[in-house]
A and B are shown apart, each in its own frame.
Chain A
């Protein structure tokens, strides 16, 4: 309040200079908001240099190819997570969803070897859509908080994965070669996984930035009540984001099973935390309303490089879990500090 008043007084004093100042301020603000992504980029470069000094194997084309392969599924699922977070939600069920959809598709494929790979991908996405829409309906129509809803569906999906499989695994020998090729083949000399990642990136970059619905997602996250007033249904947006998250974790589930050539009901445990960590590191505001896809990609890339580096430097696998938690905490805290600093510089100018 007082801020507005001071601003108003100043503007009265000298309107011309003030308007100049406003544009300068805006320019500065744009620069600084871009800074958070730039910061991650610098951090990645530094990390690459340091790790390359420690392990000569790290800075090779093959290793980078491996890193990209490793992060592609994470990126696909994290994109859905980002959409949900943008609209002021949170999806804790993605990890269990990946396991459940993966298990369902693996069971279907192992019983019907004739199914073409494209159809099995569609089945997975459809199955994910049902799961995601279930989340979305409960959050939007049932008015239940996202955390409660997805915590509940997390255990439901995980439990269902156990129930449909009876706790058994689906092994590599039970899957047809064509299904395993989904994640291992190449399109135009690009590995399929990376191809899918690029596809998802391009599609959602266009969707978020150049379509009306995409912009509404940001609007619904940054100011839901204003959104309602201009006649955008926040409920529909919420339902949409959860459904998209469902489709994407469905796709992720199929790719996961195809890549590791085995479906286990306890796979992708804790994957939801990795996706949330990737979003937070990538500069997506956890309270909704801001975040970009390139930022998310950098966040995912940073996580991928760190995990790859940890493996190369041979650090205990038990460290991984503690490390994930630490990364989430550090990322959200730095975000807050950076935001405060940005606000301060804007005010002082």
Chain B
């Protein structure tokens, strides 16, 4: 009995998430060492502004990658919906109506991804690679090399506002609500279990009557919708919309999801890991910018993290197998 409990706790503490927690603590220590102003509540709260927009998409990207798919078009979708929204506003629409139509644009983009992937049984990599350049191209077509910079007063609250007079950003609250919602759906509902089972064995799912295609379409549409959603926040925060907005976001979003322990081959990963990875990468990025590391250096570092975090589980798995093999001998 006691041994079993011991084994359980051992398994519990061996989980990937704990490594992330340790890394987060390390990054925080280094950051606090780099700047004396780092460890204070207002600063920590404000820091979250830098990665909340990515966080919205990370939530759904975790679902998509657990189901063994990928959506590379998210950043382009942000640009497209943001540009559509701001151009509509410029032509005289009410800002909230424009936001709504922007959200619809994003969802439509996601729906198109989902439909092509499921109707033609194509790999999501190729399809979203195509729409990656299509959506970005559409936003360039609409706005060219111009930018929309004037937004009404109330709109800026979305991305810049705080709850009442507290230091808690409005964005963070929305993110927490969404996180709770998405975690419950992924881990406690049949839909969530279906997502895992599609990632593990799609064919078996089909044969056992799971509506695989419908679930995939829902996931991609949601991904489009959340991209547009985060596009609204991003536009409101930086107060400008242009076609080159959110460039390279997909790289960081996929990095976060992979670092969070989700396997590219599907069926593995937890929401907790992904959220921890989001904060880890966000804090790391913040620390690097405290140290004045140039953006291109950060690009290299993010790429390295992506590859390392993808190799790590394989290496750990290989070592564990080898040690088990030795024990057997």
Among A40-48, A186-194, A196-204, A327-335, the one that faces the other chain is A327-335
Task: Report Cα–Cα, A316/B130, bound state, in Å.
Answer: 20
Shortest CB distance B58–A (Å)? 15
Chain B CB count within 10 A is highest, among A144, A145, A316, A328, for A144
Main secondary structure of the interface of B (DSSP, over half): helix
State whether A138 touches B297 (Cβ < 8 A): no
**A145-B310, A158-B299 in contact; A325/B134 too (CB < 8 A)?**
yes
What residues of A have a CB within 8 angstroms of the CB of B280 in the complex? Answer: none
State whether A322 touches B254 (Cβ < 8 A): no
Task: Report Cα–Cα, A319/B141, bound state, in Å.
Answer: 6
Task: Report Cα–Cα, A100/B310, bound state, in Å.
Answer: 24
**A148-B306, A329-B127 in contact; A318/B141 too (CB < 8 A)?**
yes
Task: Report Cα–Cα, A329/B132, bound state, in Å.
Answer: 11
Q: Count of chain B residues with Cβ under 8 Å from any Cβ of A?
A: 43
Among A159-167, A230-238, A251-259, A298-306, the one that faces the other chain is A159-167
What residues of A have a CB within 8 angstroms of the CB of B131 in the complex? Answer: 325, 329
What residues of B have a CB within 8 angstroms of the CB of A326 in the complex? Answer: 130, 134, 137
What residues of B have a CB within 8 angstroms of the CB of A323 in the complex? Answer: 137
Task: Report Cα–Cα, A270/B127, bound state, in Å.
Answer: 16
Task: Report Cα–Cα, A328/B137, bound state, in Å.
Answer: 13
Q: Quick check: is A324 within 8 A (CB to CB) of the other chain?
A: yes
State whether B130 touches A142 (Cβ < 8 A): no
Shortest CB distance A171–B (Å)? 20
Interface 0/1 of B94-133, CB less than 8 Å to A:
0000000000000000000000100011110111011111
Q: Quick check: is A152 within 8 A (CB to CB) of the other chain?
A: yes
Contact of B133 among A163, A273, A318 (CB under 8 A): A273
Could you say which interface size class chain A belongs to? 35 or more
Count: A-B pairs, CB below 8 Å: 139
Contact of B303 among A159, A273, A324 (CB under 8 A): A159
Q: Quick check: is B258 within 8 A (CB to CB) of the other chain?
A: yes
Interface 0/1 of A305-349, CB less than 8 Å to B:
000000000001011111111101100110011000000000000
What residues of B have a CB within 8 angstroms of the CB of A268 in the complex? Answer: none
Contact of B126 among A163, A316, A318, A332 (CB under 8 A): A332
* Closest partner residue, chain A, to B143 (CB atom): A318
Interface 0/1 of A113-148, CB less than 8 Å to B:
000000000000000000000000010001111011
**A142-B310, A144-B307, A163-B297 in contact; A328/B126 too (CB < 8 A)?**
yes
Q: Quick check: is B3 within 8 A (CB to CB) of the other chain?
A: no
* Closest partner residue, chain B, to A336 (CB atom): B120
Main secondary structure of the interface of A (DSSP, over half): helix
Q: Quick check: is A168 within 8 A (CB to CB) of the other chain?
A: no
Task: Report Cα–Cα, A321/B137, bound state, in Å.
Answer: 5
State whether B127 touches A162 (Cβ < 8 A): no
State whether B70 touches A147 (Cβ < 8 A): yes
State whether A328 touches B129 (Cβ < 8 A): yes
What residues of A have a CB within 8 angstroms of the CB of B210 in the complex? Answer: none
State whether B141 touches A316 (Cβ < 8 A): yes
Interface 0/1 of A265-283, CB less than 8 Å to B:
0000010010010001000
What residues of A have a CB within 8 angstroms of the CB of B300 in the complex? Answer: 155-156, 159-160, 163
Shortest CB distance A326–B (Å)? 6
Task: Report Cα–Cα, A159/B305, bound state, in Å.
Answer: 14
**A145-B264, A145-B265, A153-B303 in contact; A325/B132 too (CB < 8 A)?**
yes
Interface 0/1 of B11-46, CB less than 8 Å to A:
000000000000000000000000000000000000
Contact of A318 among B123, B140, B306, B310 (CB under 8 A): B140
* Closest partner residue, chain A, to B311 (CB atom): A142
State whether A286 touches B135 (Cβ < 8 A): no
State whether A325 touches B303 (Cβ < 8 A): no
Task: Report Cα–Cα, A320/B297, bound state, in Å.
Answer: 29
Can you show 7 pairs from A to B with CB atoms below 8 A apart? A149-B307, A151-B306, A155-B302, A158-B299, A286-B122, A325-B130, A329-B116
- Give 18 new A-B contacts, CB below 8 A, not counting A163-B296, A322-B141: A144-B264, A145-B265, A147-B125, A148-B254, A148-B306, A151-B254, A152-B251, A152-B255, A152-B303, A153-B307, A159-B299, A162-B296, A273-B132, A286-B122, A321-B136, A324-B134, A332-B122, A336-B120
Cβ-closest 3 pairs across A and B: A322-B137, A325-B134, A321-B137
